C-alpha cells in the first residue's frame, strides 16, 4: 500500500502546482517591483496602485534612462499594457538605438504569467522577461 501512495501523492502535488501556475494573476497581485536583464544592462519596472508605473533602465556604459507612465491589465487575455515607458529592445532582442525617446501612446503589451513555484513574470521570452521581486516584510519593532 505504501508503494502505491508515493506515486499518487507525487501526482497530486504536481497537479496542484500546475493548477496554481495556470491560475490567472489578479490585478492586485501585479503591484510591485520587477527586474530583468538586458543585453547591455538591466531594467526595473515598478507597477504602482492606481495604474501609474516607473521604469528605470541602467546600462553597463553608465547611462540611465527613466520614465513615468501608466499600466493596465487585461486579465482575460493575461496581458499588461504600458503607456509612456521606454522601449529597451528592438524586435530582434537587441538594444533599441532610440532608447532615449519615450514614444507617444502605447509602448508595450506583454504577457503575464505565474511561475510554477511562485512569483510573477512579465514578458514573452528570456529577451524580455521581468520577474517580480519579493515584497519586503515591514520590520517588526
Predicted confidence (pLDDT) per residue in 49-66, tens digit? 999 999 999 999 999 999
What was the pLDDT predicted at 118?
78
CATH of the domain at 17: 2.40.128.360
Is 140 within the bounds of a domain?
no
Q: Which domain holds residue 42?
A: 2-132
Query: pLDDT per residue over 66-118, tens digit each?
Result: 999 999 999 999 999 999 999 998 888 889 999 998 888 778 899 999 987 77
Predicted model pTM: 0.78
- Grid coordinates belonging to 87: 522601449
**Residue 137 within any structural domain of the chain:** no
> Is the pLDDT confidence value at 43 over 70?
yes
Burial of 60 (0-12, 13-18, 19+ CB in 10 A): exposed
What's the domain count of the chain?
Answer: 1
**Domain annotation covers residue 61:** yes
What lies within 8 Å, CB to CB, of 103 at 6+ separation is 87
Phi-psi region of 88 (alpha: psi -120 to 50; beta: other; left: phi over 0): alpha
Amino acid at each position: 500500500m505504501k508503494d502505491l501512495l508515493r506515486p499518487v501523492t507525487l501526482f497530486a502535488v504536481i497537479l496542484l502546482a500546475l493548477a496554481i501556475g495556470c491560475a490567472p494573476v489578479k490585478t492586485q497581485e501585479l503591484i510591485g517591483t520587477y527586474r530583468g536583464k538586458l543585453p547591455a544592462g538591466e531594467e526595473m519596472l515598478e507597477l504602482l496602485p492606481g495604474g501609474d508605473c516607473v521604469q528605470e533602465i541602467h546600462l553597463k556604459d553608465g547611462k540611465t534612462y527613466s520614465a513615468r507612465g501608466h499600466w493596465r491589465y487585461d486579465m482575460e487575455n493575461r496581458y499588461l499594457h504600458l503607456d509612456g515607458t521606454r522601449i529597451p529592445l528592438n524586435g530582434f532582442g537587441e538594444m533599441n538605438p532610440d532608447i532615449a525617446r519615450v514614444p507617444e501612446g502605447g509602448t508595450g503589451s506583454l504577457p503575464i504569467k505565474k511561475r510554477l513555484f511562485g512569483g510573477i513574470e512579465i514578458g514573452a521570452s528570456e529577451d524580455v522577461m521581468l520577474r517580480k521581486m519579493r515584497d519586503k516584510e515591514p520590520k517588526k519593532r
